[in-house]
Amino acid sequence: MGIFDEIKKKLSHEFIDIIEWLDNTNDTIVHRFERYQNEIKNEAQLIVREGQVAVFINEGQLADVFKPGTYTLNTQNLPILATLKGWKYGFNSPFKAEVYFVSSRLFTDEKWGTKNPITLNDDRFGFVEVRAFGTYAFKINDAGKFITDIVGTDSHFTNYEINEHLKSLISTRFTDTIGEANLPIELYAANTNELSETCLEVMNPEFNSVGISLEKFFIENVSMPEDLKKEIFEYSRLNKLDLDKLTKFKAAKAMEVAAANESGAAGAGIGMGMGFAMAQQMGTLFNQQTQTTTTTNQSTPTGAVPPPLPNQVQYFYAANGQQAGPVNYDALKSLFGNRTINANTLIWKQGMTNWSSLQSVPELQNLLGSVPPPLPNN
């Protein structure tokens, strides 16, 4: 064997004969196949395993893309690269190209969450702030587009690098989606499955635009401030009984607080009287409702429906210069009995043009005899 044959043999071994990538990591998305001066031998073997895609880049331009299989690299298997290189009739010498292996497997259990609270406008509670978090799964569905648009010349690209971009995209689209849903605030946490499916549909086109497929999207929790939770729970419990009762209950609590703040111990006593009167009123309404239900169940024939109960007159009254009420006749009688109000207290009900003293309202004059006069002086 001559000296030139030895040199030729030695040089041939410096070029790559087999191009493959064995992934021993769980987070690598793109790996660039490294070799001396990017030179690949003619008729070299390309091995692409399941869960991989091989992408050839020539001087920054996307060339050929190979799915799983074994290939012999020549002009027949490299049609785009052959065109870029100007190979018309085949080639015998080594050629230069960058080879990227892209993982096409499913990347699961990726975390997302809202960095800042999301402000929503609820019809009952006004502006409220919520947070959300969950998981998602994605895979690369267009390796060429993903490399040109996202990876660039990065030789080792991991899911951590793309996750920061994806989480920002998810947070933005999630905010838009739940804002447009316009649900009552307590229903966001109860409809996470429906919201997850809607978000998946909304986000997938933007993921696809960079060669990524959003395969799964889950909302695990939608949280809100604790004080808002308590108010929602209270509202839900009382609303099951009667919405009118809830309004009166809130009014009684507000009057107690206002009385305590404005006039100290005296105000606290007035507030307690109002609270007791309101509690008595609510108890009376509840008892009436229970008795009506019991009587109906016992005496109403099957198929018969009793007429509705007549509406009770509601009265407003003045206390410490503030409007209070409405309360019904029984509650007003209790207030008169414990001297929270008196004959000169201003009263108003629907149908009256102006406020009038209690003693001038005809149906209330019988209250005047329910309280004994003061003892005579000795």
Rounded to an integer, the average pLDDT of 224-233 is: 74
pLDDT of 333: 83
Q: Report d(CA 20, CA 49) in Å as an integer.
A: 8
As a whole number, the mean pLDDT across the chain is: 77
Pick the range with the lowest mean pLDDT from 183-192, 253-262, 278-287.
278-287
Q: Which residues of 75-110 are buried (b: 16+ CB within 10 A; e: fewer)?
A: beebeebbebbeeeeebeebbebbbbbbbbeebeeb
Tell me whether the omega of the peptide bond preceding residue 308 falls within 30 degrees of 0, making it cis.
Answer: no
The yes-or-no verdict on residue 71 having pLDDT over 50 is yes
| Residues forming beta bridges with residue 65, ordered by sequence position | 55
Q: Which of 64, 55, 67, 116 is nearest to 85 (CA)?
A: 64
Q: Report d(CA 88, CA 44) in Å as an integer.
A: 19
CB-count exposure of residue 66 (10 Å: 0-12, 13-18, 19+): buried
Share of the chain above pLDDT 70, in %: 72
pLDDT of 55: 94
Q: What is the fold, at CATH topology level, of the domain defined by 107-142+149-225? A: Tetrahydropterin Synthase; Chain A (3.30.479)
| 66 vs 300 pLDDT, higher one | 66
- Residue 13: band (very low, low, confident or very high) from pLDDT cuts 50, 70, 90: very low
The yes-or-no verdict on residue 267 having pLDDT over 50 is no
| 151 vs 190 pLDDT, higher one | 151
Q: Report d(CA 335, CA 135) in Å as an integer.
A: 58
pLDDT of 39: 82
State the span(s) of the chain assigned CATH 3.30.479.30.
107-142+149-225
Q: Report d(CA 259, CA 88) in Å as an integer.
A: 96
Residues 6+ apart with CB under 8 A from 120: 127, 128, 129, 130, 178, 179, 185
> Which two tokens mark 356?
């009038």
The yes-or-no verdict on residue 319 having pLDDT over 80 is yes
pLDDT of 259: 67
Rounded to 5 degrees, φ, ψ at 206 are: -75, -35
Share of the chain above pLDDT 90, in %: 19
Of 242-246, 283-287, 288-292, 349-353, highest mean pLDDT = 349-353
pLDDT of 265: 46
- Residue 310: band (very low, low, confident or very high) from pLDDT cuts 50, 70, 90: low
Contact 31, 99 (CB under 8 A): no
pLDDT of 82: 86
